[in-house]
Amino acid sequence: FKSALGKTPRRPALKKTSHTQKDPVGVYCRIRPLGATDEECCIEMISSTTIQLHAPDGIKANRNGEYKETQYSFKKVFGIQTSQIELFEDVAKPLVDDLIHCKNGLLFTYGVTGSGKTFTMTGSPGEGGLLPRSLDMLFNSIGPLQAKRFVFRTDDKNGMEIQGQVDALLERQKRESNQQSTVPKTPSSKQKPDPEFADMISPEEACKCEGVDEDSCYSVFVSYIEIYNNYIYDLLEEAPIDPIRHKPPQSKILREDQNHNMYVSGCTEVEVKSTEEAFQVFWRGQKKRRIADTQLNRESSRSHSVFIVKLAQAPLDADGDHILQDKNQVTVSQLCLVDLAGSERTSRTKAEGSRLREAGNINQSLMTLRTCIEVLRENQMCGTNRMVPYRDSKVTHLFKNYFDGEGKVRMVVCVNPKADDYEETMLVMRFAELTQEVEVARPVDRPICSLAAGRRHRNQDGSVLNQLLDSLPALPACELVDPTDEQILPRLIEVLERRHRIRQMITEQYTRTANTLKSMLQEFDGHLMAKENFIHEQWGKLGEKDKIMFNQKNEMDRLEKKSKMLEYKIDILQKTTNIYEGDKRSLQQELESREQRLQRELSERKRMEARMQGMVSDTKHQWEKECVNPDRTTTGTPIRLHHRRSHSAGGERWVDHKPLSNLDLDTVMQPIIPNAIKVSAASEKALSKCHKYVLTHQELASDGEIQTKLIKGDVFRTRGGGQAVQFTDIETLRQECPTASSRKRSSDDGPGQHDGNQMDWNDRENRVSCPSLIHLGWSKTAIRVL
């Protein structure tokens, strides 16, 4: 249990492991009889596990014009003929059996107002409900095994302590003396029971649990609380009554103990020793419950009641005489029997004022219960981790450890088959159907004490032997004074015969005890041998598992090394990929820049070709015009040859590269480049000062004459800081023999051609270099002309 102001501590990881076995919440359905035979019924029991709801008259039909019929399945359905004992056998008896075997349980009734929840839980005279039958079965099972009163004592932190017989006797006397002057004495099992609970359970219906540990002592504590308007009140608290101020009772708070179990702090826990005494305590708290009339039920419960049965047990010592004075050996289990308030619409109850507020709080707490169930179902079925809103209501907060911890949870859905409750019953059925899909951890068996079994009976056998020894008659006086005395000898013979019979009985008892002990020792030896064999087998299996674990460890180490190596390689590949990606991006950028430059150069070359074509066409047109009239040459008028300036005669700054290996031809027509820097070898310094470049190259023509070529280009800077030349034009100058050339011209060209030693400018060729760029690294290499 936890404080309402603090956060819920996390549970131990053991309870959240996937190996924990779980069982679904057991949901049962009970149908109560109709109040009148002429009432319309909307529920039909189809089988022992299924019911069907029929829409009554007045309910809107569906689209097809037919009433919708819905079926719901439960773990078991109890019809109107079901008796209280049949319901107890299937629902509550397994929970009481688990309570005696140190396992927790929760049982609550749920339904609309007037569906029979209180009758199912409490019952009536002659027809005891689940609560009185559970108490009766508990005390029938542990009755002779109970400890003396006040040997077990509750502390303030939901724990249990053990005190000795003397301390328990002193505390019992002290409390009885205090109660004589204040409140009536605690009801004893010998007192006459309250007539309200007289004959609730017939002797024929009494039952008990089998397999109870007889080497332990038990004690039962009960507490009774109610949750009203989301406040917790102790129904067994003996608070003084102030008739003037009418001060309401103090509400309690919830806390959490060291085992993460919720409990009501300061709640009264009464130790009871019989079924009748437990009935008296229950009825005393029942008289304080909030019960008010509503439109639906004359005696409708307006609060949730929780009756908690706590069973404490501890083993006997080795002699079987006293309880072990060890708090760690005390085991506490509890069974919560809950009667929830009825759920209904406030419009039907006609509630006003405080009754309206009560109904709102009841519906709010039940809605919180539905929300918690829905979130639990979603987390378990969908694998989500949503927070369950237990703290939104005191009811869900109190039972948090049952759903998150371990134990059994049972719910009895009570329904009224009358047509007026059809819509509310539909909501109850949907909630019950949802609850069945929630799973709760199965309770585990508690460890058994290591002391030998049968300690209680062995002590009883010893007491019988001591009684026999104490019953030996004393020997009478054996002195014979008178030989005729006939009384002493018969009396002595009778005493000796009695002592002989008692001795035979002691011998038989000793023989039986010895045989029992011998059989127990043999059985113990057999168990010990079986345990030793089992341990030997387990050691063998453990050795095999160790080998498997060793091999698995080696394999895991190898895989881990391989994984690290692969991670290292992946890291290297990732870095290499990053480098390649960077190079790729830089190359892409350089390629894009070169493509742009090529596009610019291609467009410039096209413009230059167009310009040169225009110049060639103009020159050809001029020569043709001058050669049209051949008479001009015969009249002696000299033909004026126009000197064509080389393309190198522009206004740009040129580098005139004439290698020393060139021959001086001493021709008249020589290309003249003004403001040119003349060099005989490659010079980066000269290129850095000029924009144009021309290289004079000589080679032999096909006719054996020397042919001169002027290779021209543009100079531009490179990224590396050097100079590069892009060749754009070649001018060819060719010499011919005067005689051969005149004859050739007279035969080929006809009259009108001039003779003389002059250069044939008609053979001049203007060509554009290939589109590729020729880069000259002037800082490292020079142009080599082959």
Residue 331 neighbours by CB distance under 10 Å: 17
Known binding residue 115? Answer is yes
Specify the higher pLDDT residue, 745 or 454.
454
Known binding residue 116? Answer is yes
% of the chain at pLDDT higher than 90:
29
| 549 and 543 Cβ atoms separated by less than 8 Å | no
The reported pLDDT for the residue numbered 640 is 47
As a whole number, the mean pLDDT across the chain is 78
Tell me the helices (H) and strands (E) count for the chain, helix number first: 16, 28
Q: What is the C-alpha to C-alpha distance for residues 412 and 74, in angstroms, rounded to an integer?
A: 10
pLDDT tens per residue, range 42-96? 899 999 999 998 887 766 555 455 557 789 999 999 999 999 999 999 999 999 9
The reported pLDDT for the residue numbered 511 is 87
Amino acid residing at 568: Y
- The separation between the first and the last C-alpha atoms of the chain, rounded to the nearest angstrom, is 104
Query: Residue 307: pLDDT above 80?
Result: yes
pTM of the model: 0.56
pLDDT tens per residue, range 85-115? 999 999 999 999 999 999 999 999 999 888 8
Specify the higher pLDDT residue, 6 or 480.
480
Q: Is 8 helix (H, G, I), strand (E, B) or coil?
A: coil
Q: What is the C-alpha to C-alpha distance for residues 139 and 275, in angstroms, rounded to an integer?
A: 6
The reported pLDDT for the residue numbered 185 is 45
Cα–Cα nearest to 524, from 461, 452, 454: 452
Provide mean pLDDT across the span 702-712: 84
Specify the higher pLDDT residue, 385 or 12.
385
Most confident of 1-5, 494-498, 690-694: 690-694
Of 213-222, 518-527, 660-669, which range is least confident? 660-669
- In this prediction, residue 354 has a pLDDT band, given cuts at 50, 70 and 90, of low
The reported pLDDT for the residue numbered 7 is 39
The reported pLDDT for the residue numbered 126 is 81
pLDDT tens per residue, range 396-454? 999 898 888 888 999 999 999 988 888 888 889 989 988 999 998 888 776 666 666 66
Known binding residue 117? Answer is yes
Domains of the chain listed by start with CATH number: 23-239+248-441 (3.40.850.10), 650-664+671-786 (2.60.40.4330)
The reported pLDDT for the residue numbered 409 is 93
Known binding residue 349? Answer is no
Known binding residue 113? Answer is yes
The reported pLDDT for the residue numbered 733 is 84
Residue 98 neighbours by CB distance under 10 Å: 18
Residue 657: beta bridge partners?
A: 679, 695
Residue 76: beta bridge partners?
A: 28
Residue 525's H or E segment, with its range, is helix 488-626
Q: What is the C-alpha to C-alpha distance for residues 372 and 392, in angstroms, rounded to an integer?
A: 9
Known binding residue 118? Answer is yes
